[in-house]
Structure 1
Amino acid sequence: MVERFRVAPGSVTAVTVAGGDRLVVVDRHGRQPAELTVLAADPRAVVDARPDAAATVLRRLVAGPDENGYAAGRILTMLATHQIDQHDAAALRLFGDSSPAGARAGFTVDDDAVVLIAAPAVPMCLSGTDPNPPSEVLVEVHRADPSRPADPELPEPLAEPLWDMRIDAATASSYQVRAGQFVQIIDVAGRQCSDFLAFDADALGDGAECGLDATTTRTIAGAAYPRPGLFGRFYDNRARPLVEVVRDTVGRHDTFALACTAKYYADLGYPGHVNCTDNFNATLSRFGVAARPGWPALNLFYNTAFDAHHQLISDEPWSRAGDYVLLRACTDLVCASSACPDDIDPANGWTPTDIHVRVYDSTRRFSVAVGHRLTPDAEPVLTKPTAFASRTETLTKQFTEYRGYWLPTAFDNFGAHQEYWACRERVAVMDLSALRKFEVLGPDAETLLQTTLTRDIRRLARGQVVYSAMCTETGGVVDDCTVLRLGDNNFRFIGGDPYDGIWLRTQAEKSGLHQVWIKDSTDQMHNIAVQGPASRDLLAGVVWSPPGQPALRDLGWFRFLIGRLGGPDGLPLLVSRTGYSGELGYELWVHPDDAGALWDTVWNAGESYGLAPLGLDALELLRVESGLVAAGHEFDDQTDPFEAGIGFTVPLKTKTDDFVGRAALTERKAHPQRALVGLRLDGNEVAAHGDCVHIGRAQVGVVTSGVRSPLLGASIALCRIAVQHVEPGTRVEVGKLDGHRKRLPATVTAIPFYDPEKSRPRA
């Protein structure tokens, strides 16, 4: 049996081992040092783990009231228990600046011990001379007795709990929480449903049962069925909020249906089967709650969906061991949680297990987040604020979860249309830090990118940026991206999908390229876009370029410079003449520690130019007008670059080297079936992504994106359509409802709608 633990850059992970186990530390992505410290009665408990260096991460740990501080405090307590002075802590240093991706260091365990594994994190050099961002370390524990069942370990508490409660399989328990307190409901072993009920405690004391109400919640949320983690609050029948979702590491739950009932089991031939409703009735009776034949509940970890016929179906839960939902009580509550007893279908993976509840004090502060897994076996990564959040949060509370980060959708006292016009007529600034950045380094770096991207990377000059597609063997688009060349063997890959790094590493392995490192630098570089006709004048006054780098005013389209903010002694930054608005514009990249200073400098300098902030809602207007494509809209892995409107990224004639998908793309280009066009609708109604496009009864296309253009005063859309109907002027209809009962007349047009020659960004 193998247990795996992730050590994030800059953090420490404690792993308990026993005699006979084997411990393996893995440098997953290469060039990442690790520090190993053994805490044991016998200093030789882990063979060949003798310290040879300072434990730099342990020495810098600081305990505190927040989550990171609480975790640090637990590690420091371990050190103190073993009579180790934090400032004298030592470690065995593993790996280094040249270790290959996947490098492994194995250790035999002779006696029980706690092993602390740390991943030192040094800020990445922005200039590209040695851009080695810190990366995670993986720890494997190969247990000596794989036949011995291991009890699943609960995740570490987020803070000091007020109390813990285990809810045994097939039971339910009731409890009380005060307003502002946090309730963490944990799936102990994974794939175990847990129904949650909550009642206003004061109303209950007055004899009124004001509990979670499905109809009220879904009406206020504006959705057919509310799902925890995706909607913020859940309400009672008086439209008063009872709980709000703070965190959800699963993101997939039930539709607020009934908790399982006696009737459900009896109808399936299992009369007398234990059920959540009867368990709730029993545990809530002490609070005077009347029994019911069925309880509408917040069904955590229960996986339901609607099939193609709109029938409600269920399958095994998505939750893994240790996944949780964190709720905050909006008022004093009486709550009840269950560990569902369903063992006659996949609802609990056929085997009911335990649920664990922790309650934290109202003075604690937890970030609002949803968990994402890049691969099925990966640890969930929680949504993060960007380094510019301290500035944008003062301008708006309208944020949305965007690929693992919180980004503003619109700004208070501005709004999407005002932000849009600022970009078209003056200048606007936007946080684009959610873009995924990867340093592709080493003697095989150019070969890897030449093999995986459609563009000819060998033609890319130092200081140049190129826009490219990255495709599958069948020609579908994995992602679009820009690539910067910082040196002969140094490239920066910038895409939208966090999976891009995994794809690149997979292709490197398939191609036998061993002298290339793909290091995630997303959290080492956050960026803003400054876009609009006045962007050059604004930035020329704040960006300093050293000798050997172009001045900002001289920076060409799809070129970049490495300079300083304000002067030769200012903070380092990289500026690229790129953007996603269809206007003259730039992107500015800095280390997260410098983000606040960059924002303030741009914001203050922009006052005289009429600078406005720009959110995602305004960006959607800009990019559709400009015919710029978006993942999940114009392209996916079933759509080739020609169909997505970015066929110019596939130079089949001039790029002679083979690349992933070349054969398929050659065939697709020779026999095209669909193409991306524009639609201009006759009326004011807006077409939406997924709307069918018809000529007569036959469907000939699908809308990929649609907006109402402020500039054109018309509803416009991007549409993927059969090549027989791409001619501008062709009349089509956008189908609504069932596609036939309501039609919106439209005319096929060329794209982009705005500035078809792209003269403005080239200006």
Structure 2
Amino acid sequence: MGNLSQHLSVETEQFFHLQAALQQIQLRVDPQSAAIFELDAQDDLELNLPAGQGIEILVRNAQGKIQLPLLQLVSPNGIISIGTAVQTLEQLVQQDSVAQRLEYQLQKFNIAQTDLEVVLRVQHTEQVRFHAPEPLSVIVLNTGENMQVDQQNAIDEVQVIIHKAKTQTEYLPAPLAQPIQEIRVSKASAKTYLVKAGQWIQIIDVSGKQCSDFLAFDANALAQGQEIGLDAVATRTILGHSTPSPGIHSRFYGTDMQALVEVVQDTVGRHDMFLTACSPKFYEDSGYFGHTSCTDNFNRILNPLGLAPKAAWPAINFFYNTQVEPCGSISMDEPWSRAGDYILLRAHKDLLCASSACPDDIDPSNGWVPSDIHVRIYAESEQFARSQLYRTHPEEMPRMTKQSGFHSRIAALTSQLVEYHGYWVANEYHGWGAKAEYLACRERVAMIDLTALRKFEITGPDAESFLQYMLTRNVRKLAIGEIAYSAICLDTGGMLDDGTIFRLGENNFRWVCGDEYTGTWLKQKAQQLGYRVSIRHSSDQIHNVAVQGPRSRELLKQLIWTPEHQPNLDQLAWFHFTLGRLGNAQGIPVMVSRTGYTGELGFEVWCHPTHAEQVWDAIWSAGQAFEIAPMGFTALDMLRIEAGLIFAQHEFDAQTNPFEAGIGFTVPLKSKDEDFLGKQAMQNQTAQSRHKLVGLILEQNEAAEHGDLIYVDRYPVGVVTSATNSPLLKKQIALCRVAPQYASAETTLEVGKLDGQKKRLKAKVVSLPFYDPERTRVRA
């Protein structure tokens, strides 16, 4: 029968094409950054700006000459003027790391200082659209001065949409650097290429939803007659993970159990390491006799190189969306990859590689229509940051995993770095370990980077009214300088997020939470409901380190200067903040809040990322007298479970309301007489019917795990949401959500292990928190 798609005419293929053509390309310009966008003739460029934020624009024609008039204004919103790039120059004169990054970008785009004398300036609009009558390069400068911790003028990202005049079926992103090889693998084919140790391999899905089998062989071993190729079983065994990902568990191993390649960047995060490359047998068993397969294509190109043909090649299938179901079957669906998605590898040895563009058109594995794969090879001298890329919205381009302003100091103390909510964070530190870090926090003082928390500046005449409706807490009761912990709920009562709200002024608030999407949702709600409020994402402008433990106040008192009108560290009450400086009145501006996530006396120090290293160094140096320890997220998890503090996707999610998550105190149903999101849904639920968050102390030393079911006799009555070994209690403990009739203290329950029936761990219900039930230490 052959490959059906090969025999279709272009018109017929387009008619049957189940993947939508690319009519829009969604991009962005990060805060305090420059970006270049290539427009074809008749394309439109749409820019969506945060309220009150301006940008600056340069335009080049196809010959590389600056020609501002060529970019035609379509929607005359706001003020479009020509003048000096004031915002860009203000950022450049700061002469800090933010300025240096912008200088590098301008050099990369060949922008001279003189080019900044005349730019297009866009102000006082939230959307503007331009038209390109001919091919143009548009450089958008989303620039400006740093925001200090006591300010709220954050520069937010600018959303960019390129409206294509001619629809296209693929998007090939700009190279990460200058490639030394560009290899196009046409649909339903495969190609080989040689890579030297240290070189980089970028495999790009140009149309989206296209699988690419990858083979790699030790080139030196091949020259000696040995076939040492990638081995999925060896890789899974060594890593203890189903697939490698950027970070600690990043390497693919060969049949000799030695690393061949390492995953450095991945914009998809879903690949297959369980199945072989598609083979003649696969198609024959499906009734498609003679169908081209990846195995056929590999045999054809590898046999002349001395590799024996195989009935089915064991391969790493990038972008193939498979997963092992609880019943044991391996399911498959269309790939997660979008046009332009890629995986970046680094070779550990000289390699012979082969990549396919899978021909499967009989199921969703390639979105039903096979397309091309593009491969780029970069020199070993290039450097690319590790990144498990992610998306806040499914249609946007992927976001790089970030390093906080404290990263250089953290990386000097540990290599145990993991990705968490788009940031690299420390799991634990060399020379300490999770238990020592935990004990330092309980007994002395410890410091931990919590920059991964998201920050949003909420200002405007309706800011208080807006937050009163959006948050469960009574925001109107907050004094300036005060903080409240709150849930933020859907109209169903389910929790979208939790966080802390800081009141900086009468109409000025800062919301600190865990999920970046919460800010998007707040913006959407403000627009839908007509509130006069500005919501800006300030996470790139404020980084924070928590200093926790019984001696944290003693330590910080030596470092933080506060003006007379601000409370000093001795005067700072629980859930309040103060504004001051590091060292003295001329020091780095900081905000210090009496907050934490440990159940201990503790503080958080907030600063601009350009000052983060100095803040870390000052705390670390002064902390030596107190035997300070750096703390990772493993120790933090132990501390917060003992303290009965909740965590997203464990104790709560969008189907769990605050009462069921154990934070009913954040929902004043009786005293808050105004309406707020989720109020009616929670009122409709009787208190007697709610599942409750309780503590469990296990009788044995075996650990419970997140997701274990809680049983009475044969049937489950709850679920373990978090669990740890408590050094303080010398017991295995767990947080769990159980049916109300089993939530009383001293109730005996069982944690189901294995299949839930074959093995049980006895446990008793206790009230929360496990540690310091009166919370006297955190209030000290």
TM range (shorter): over 0.9
Deviations 1:573-601 (A, max 9, x none): 00000000000000000000000000000
Matching of residues 670-709 of structure 1 within 5 Å: 670-709=687-726
1:625 aligns with 2:646: no
Matching of residues 47-86 of structure 1 within 5 Å: 47=72, 51-54=82-85, 57=88, 72-76=106-110, 86=114
CA RMSD of aligned residues (A): 2.1
Secondary structure of the equivalent of 2:179? coil
Q: CA deviation at 1:215?
A: 1.4
1:7 to 4, 13, 29: 29
Counterpart for residue 31 of structure 1: 52
Q: CA deviation at 1:53?
A: 2.7
Deviations 1:607-655 (A, max 9, x none): 1111111111111111111111111111111111111110000011111
Q: Is the 2:83–2:117 Cα contact (8 Å) retained in structure 1?
A: no
Counterpart for residue 141 of structure 2: 118
Deviations 1:640-672 (A, max 9, x none): 111111000001111111000000111224443
1:174 to 189, 192, 207: 192
Equivalents in 2 of 1:201, 1:72: separation in Å? 40
The one-letter amino acid paired with 1:733 is E
675-684 or 444-453: bigger deviation: 444-453
Secondary structure of the equivalent of 1:554? coil
38-47 or 281-290: bigger deviation: 38-47
Q: 1:121 to 1:352 in 2, by over 3 A?
A: farther
Equivalents in 1 of 2:120, 2:610: separation in Å? 29
Deviations 1:241-263 (A, max 9, x none): 00110000111111342011111
Q: 1:72 to 1:208 in 2, by over 3 A?
A: farther
The one-letter amino acid paired with 1:755 is D
1:433 aligns with 2:451: yes
Q: Is the 2:244–2:250 Cα contact (8 Å) retained in structure 1?
A: no
Counterpart for residue 122 of structure 2: 94
Q: CA deviation at 1:149?
A: 3.4
Equivalents in 2 of 1:195, 1:166: separation in Å? 14
Equivalents in 2 of 1:142, 1:735: separation in Å? 54
Residue segments in structure 2 that go unaligned for 5+ positions in a row? 1-22, 74-79
1:375 aligns with 2:396: no
Q: 1:452 to 1:43 in 2, by over 3 A?
A: closer
Equivalents in 2 of 1:475, 1:344: separation in Å? 43
1:534 aligns with 2:587: no
Q: Is the 1:37–1:51 Cα contact (8 Å) retained in structure 2?
A: no
The one-letter amino acid paired with 2:474 is D
Q: Is the 2:243–2:271 Cα contact (8 Å) retained in structure 1?
A: no
Secondary structure of the equivalent of 1:630? coil
Q: Is the 2:26–2:396 Cα contact (8 Å) retained in structure 1?
A: no
Secondary structure of the equivalent of 1:382? coil
Count matched residues.
743
Equivalents in 1 of 2:163, 2:768: separation in Å? 57
Q: 1:440 to 1:606 in 2, by over 3 A?
A: same
Counterpart for residue 603 of structure 1: 620
44-53 or 326-335: bigger deviation: 44-53
Q: CA deviation at 1:673?
A: 2.7
Q: CA deviation at 1:142?
A: 3.5
Deviations 1:671-716 (A, max 9, x none): 4331011111011011000101111112111111111100111111
The one-letter amino acid paired with 2:30 is A
Equivalents in 2 of 1:627, 1:259: separation in Å? 48
1:232 to 250, 261, 265: 250
Q: CA deviation at 1:57?
A: 4.0
Deviations 1:91-113 (A, max 9, x none): 111125xx5xxx12233444443
The one-letter amino acid paired with 1:221 is L
The one-letter amino acid paired with 2:299 is N
Q: Is the 2:710–2:719 Cα contact (8 Å) retained in structure 1?
A: yes
2:183 to 162, 165, 182: 165
Task: Report % sequence identity.
Answer: 48
Matching of residues 348-363 of structure 1 within 5 Å: 348-363=366-381
Deviations 1:503-538 (A, max 9, x none): 21122122111x211111111111100000000000
Deviations 1:183-212 (A, max 9, x none): 011111111101111111111111111101
Counterpart for residue 658 of structure 1: 675
TM-score by length of 1: 0.94
1:17 to 29, 39, 42: 39
Q: CA deviation at 1:138?
A: 2.4
Counterpart for residue 332 of structure 1: 350
Q: CA deviation at 1:327?
A: 0.4
Equivalents in 2 of 1:494, 1:153: separation in Å? 36
319-328 or 51-60: bigger deviation: 51-60
Equivalents in 1 of 2:194, 2:677: separation in Å? 58
Counterpart for residue 213 of structure 1: 231
Secondary structure of the equivalent of 1:381? coil
1:760 aligns with 2:774: no
The one-letter amino acid paired with 1:75 is F
Q: 1:168 to 1:68 in 2, by over 3 A?
A: farther
Q: Is the 1:31–1:132 Cα contact (8 Å) retained in structure 2?
A: no
Counterpart for residue 638 of structure 1: 655
Secondary structure of the equivalent of 2:519? helix
Residue segments in structure 1 that go unaligned for 5+ positions in a row? none
TM-score by length of 2: 0.92
Q: Is the 2:148–2:607 Cα contact (8 Å) retained in structure 1?
A: no
Q: CA deviation at 1:742?
A: 0.2
Matching of residues 424-573 of structure 1 within 5 Å: 424-513=442-531, 515-573=532-590
Q: 1:142 to 1:234 in 2, by over 3 A?
A: closer
1:104 aligns with 2:127: yes
Q: Is the 1:227–1:252 Cα contact (8 Å) retained in structure 2?
A: no
